[in-house]
C-alpha cells in the first residue's frame, strides 16, 4: 500500500501534475494539503474520471486538505476531536480551519494534515500552532493500538539538520524548542516517523521558490508520515520525489511516499 503526502499549493493549478503523479508511481492513497479551494470548486471530476475516489475539505481559498484514493474510504473524518480554531481577531469566533481530513481505507486510518505555520514567534498563530499539535498528540495517544497514520505538512523541522542552515533560522518559527517539543509529543504518544530512515540521502522535502533554493539544495524537512506501532511495523520503504519538485510550475514541496506491506490490502488489489 503506497501512501503519498504532498502539499500541492493549489490543486486547481496542479491537477494534471497530481494525476500524473498518481499514475507514474501507482499511488494507492494521495494526501494533499493547501488545496486552496472550497469543496464545491474542487476538481473532483478530473480525479473521478481517472478512476479515483475523492474526499476533500476546503472552506475558502486558504488551507484545504484532500485524500485521493484508489479505493472508496470506509469512513471519512472532517477534523479531529478538540481541534482548535483560529481568527486573527481574538474577539471574533475562533472557527476551525480546513486543516485535517481523515479516511479509513482497508482498516488504516489515514490523516492528511496541514499544521499551522506559526508565522512569527510573537504572533497568536504561533500559540495556535502549538495548541493544534497538543490536541493532535492527545488524539493520537488514544489510537496507537490501531493502524493510524498522520501525514502531511507539519511546518516543523525537528532536527538542526532538517534545515539547510540552522543559523539562518535562529529566532524564527519551525525550529524553536516549543515546536520541536510539540512534534516530540506525537512520538511520545507512540507514533513513529517512518520515512526518515529510508531517505537520509534525500534530506529535504520543501524548497522555497525564492532565492533559487532548490537549485542550491537549500531546503527544509517539514513533511512527515507518523505511524502507530501496528502500522509502522509494516513499512518497507519511502521516497522523496525530487523530480517532481524539479518540474516546471510545480509546488514548493516534494511528494513524500511510504510503502506498507499489508497482506490484507495487497491480496485484494
Domain that holds residue 187: 2-260
User: 203 or 220: whose pLDDT is higher?
Assistant: 220
In a domain? residue 265: no
Which residue numbers belong to the known binding site for Mg(2+)?
A: 7, 34, 153, 155, 252-253
Query: Would you place residue 265 in the very low, low, confident or very high pLDDT band (cuts 50, 70, 90)?
Result: low
Which tens digits make up the pLDDT trace of 100-140? 999 999 999 999 999 999 999 999 999 999 999 999 999 99
Percent of the chain topping pLDDT 90: 95
Q: What is the CATH number of the domain that holds 118?
A: 3.60.10.10
Q: What is the pLDDT of residue 183?
A: 98
35, 64 contact by CB (below 8 A)? yes
Q: Which of 53, 234, 239, 253 is catalytic?
A: 253
Q: 122, exposed or middle or buried, with CB in 10 Å at 0-12, 13-18, 19+?
A: exposed
Confirm whether 208 is a catalytic residue.
no
Q: Which of 153, 162, 241, 259 is catalytic?
A: 153
Record the pTM: 0.96
Number of domains in the chain: 1
Confirm whether 153 is a catalytic residue.
yes
Q: Which of 52, 114, 139, 204 is catalytic?
A: 114
In a domain? residue 267: no
Looking at beta carbons, which pairs linking 231-238 to residues 24 or more positions away fall under 8 Å? 231/108, 231/147, 231/148, 231/149, 231/260, 232/191, 232/192, 232/194, 234/260, 234/261, 234/262, 235/194, 235/259, 235/260, 235/261, 236/260, 236/261, 237/198, 238/194, 238/195, 238/196, 238/197, 238/198, 238/199
In a domain? residue 81: yes
Q: What is the pLDDT of residue 263?
A: 78
In a domain? residue 268: no
Confirm whether 57 is a catalytic residue.
no
User: 267 or 68: whose pLDDT is higher?
Assistant: 68
Amino acid at each position: 500500500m503506497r501512501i503519498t503526502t504532498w502539499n500541492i499549493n493549489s490543486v486547481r493549478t496542479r491537477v494534471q501534475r497530481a494525476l500524473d503523479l498518481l499514475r507514474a508511481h501507482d499511488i494507492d492513497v494521495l494526501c494533499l494539503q493547501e488545496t486552496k479551494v472550497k469543496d464545491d470548486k474542487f476538481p473532483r471530476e478530473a480525479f473521478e474520471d481517472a478512476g479515483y475516489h475523492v474526499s476533500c475539505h476546503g472552506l475558502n481559498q486558504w488551507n484545504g486538505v484532500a485524500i485521493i484514493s484508489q479505493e472508496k474510504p470506509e469512513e471519512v473524518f472532517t477534523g479531529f476531536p478538540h481541534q482548535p480554531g483560529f481568527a486573527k481577531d481574538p474577539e471574533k469566533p475562533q472557527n476551525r480551519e480546513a486543516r485535517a481530513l481523515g479516511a479509513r481505507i482497508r482498516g488504516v486510518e489515514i490523516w492528511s494534515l496541514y499544521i499551522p505555520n506559526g508565522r512569527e514567534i510573537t504572533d497568536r498563530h504561533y500559540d495556535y500552532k502549538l495548541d493544534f499539535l497538543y490536541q493532535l498528540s492527545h488524539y493520537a495517544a488514544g489510537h496507537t493500538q490501531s493502524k493510524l497514520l498522520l501525514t502531511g505538512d507539519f511546518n516543523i523541522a525537528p532536527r538542526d539538520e532538517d534545515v539547510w542552515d540552522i543559523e539562518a533560522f535562529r529566532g524564527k518559527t519551525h525550529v524553536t524548542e516549543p515546536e520541536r517539543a510539540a512534534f516530540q509529543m506525537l512520538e511520545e504518544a507512540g507514533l513513529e516517523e517512518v520515512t526518515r530512515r529510508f531517505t537520509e540521502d534525500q534530506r529535504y522535502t520543501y524548497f522555497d521558490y525564492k532565492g533559487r533554493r532548490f537549485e542550491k539544495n537549500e531546503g527544509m524537512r517539514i513533511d512527515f508520515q507518523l505511524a502507530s506501532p501496528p502500522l509502522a511495523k509494516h513499512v518497507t520503504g519511502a521516497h522523496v520525489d525530487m523530480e517532481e519538485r524539479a518540474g516546471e510550475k510545480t509546488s514548493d514541496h516534494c511528494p513524500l511516499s511510504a510503502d506498507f506491506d499489508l497482506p490484507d490490502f495487497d491480496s485484494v488489489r
